[in-house]
Amino acid sequence: MLLRTSRWVYSAGVRMPKWKSWFNRLRPIAIEHKVKIWSDRQVRLRRAPRWPSLDGALLRVAPSHREFAQFPTMLLSLKTKWLLRCALCACLPALLCSSVRAQQTQTQEFPEIDTYVGLTDRYRLMFQVSRSKDGSTLNSTQFGPNLDINFRPLLRRKLRTNDSAKGNFLTLRIGYQYLENVGKPNENRVQSALTSRFHLPWSLELAERNRFDLRVISDQFSWRYRNRLTLERSFSIKSFSFSPYARGEIYYDSKPGTWNKSTYSFGAVIPIRKRFELEGYYERENTTGGSPPHVNGIGTTLSIYFRRKLA
């Protein structure tokens, strides 16, 4: 029984302020509301996705098979939506200007097969057949033999590859190539290239190639210098290995007397057992005064290695 006055309330003979009496009445309602909020939050947590960490463990309790089935959809909706939006915004100007750039840029495919025959630890033969990306036209066919000479093996091999030349500090290549151009005169080319390799931190490897091409086109002689830098690193996932790389190259042609061409490419090399390597890459080529001035190339290279068994 409550006895009320203007400022005080008597409950079971106990004197208390009026505000405390109202607090005691509202307290069970507040506690019930908090319990409801807490239970709703637990339901949301149970329905929330369980994201796996880098080491394969789950950040929360083990999810059910239904949540695993919904994982790709949640991953797309939460982590890649903003990437798709950014890519769309970045490609919008290119889409608007596609009619203008279509005449200046072409997209080509460049297949290539390289065969290596090891003579000794230092010498090996290399024969190349490819659709040339370096001829007078984009429909050129290039083939020819080369001789590789290796110097000074590296103390530590950081790249997981079947190419024995990448385990040496210096590699000299001397070769001949014949380019059959469609609709234009054919080309005879003698090349010499010196490649040096350096170890960098974080298991990176830097390779620099200096190459000279002696060219004869329609009985006219010219030469060209090419400098190429490659940054490469190997990764392994259990028994699967691959080596992504970034590469850039510049060209100096004696005919115009200028640096008239540059290329940059991104790709990866995948060793297959001990005799094969598969390489895929994207290459962007920019040529001053060329036709077309810009080329987007998608290339695939199959390398085959034969090693001579020494007695």
Cα separation of 299 and 268, whole Å?
Answer: 11
* Percentage of the residues of the chain whose pLDDT score is greater than 90: 39
Contact (Cβ atoms closer than 8 angstroms) between residue 293 and residue 287: yes
In this prediction, residue 184 carries a pLDDT of 82
In this prediction, residue 279 carries a pLDDT of 95
Q: Exposure pattern of 117-151 as b/e (b: 16+ CB <10 Å)?
A: ebeeeeebebebebbbbbbbebebebebebebebe
Three-class SS state of 21: helix
Homologous superfamily (CATH) for 109-307: Outer membrane protein (2.40.128.140)
Cα separation of 138 and 133, whole Å?
Answer: 6
Instruction: Tell which wins on pLDDT, 134 or 103.
Output: 134
In this prediction, residue 1 carries a pLDDT of 46
Residue 174 forms beta bridges with which residues?
Answer: 147, 192
What digits encode the pLDDT tens for the residues 241-258? 999 999 999 999 998 889
Residue 74: how many CB atoms within 10 A of its CB? 14
Q: Please report, as a single letter, which amino acid is at residue 34.
A: K
What digits encode the pLDDT tens for the residues 162-190? 888 888 999 999 999 999 887 788 899 99
What digits encode the pLDDT tens for the residues 105-137? 788 888 999 999 999 889 999 999 998 777 656
Cα separation of 266 and 260, whole Å?
Answer: 21
Task: Report pTM.
Answer: 0.65
All structural domains of the chain with their residue ranges: 2-79, 109-307
For 256, list phi and psi in degrees, rounded to 5.
-80, -20
What digits encode the pLDDT tens for the residues 49-97? 554 544 444 444 444 444 444 444 444 454 455 555 655 555 454 444 4
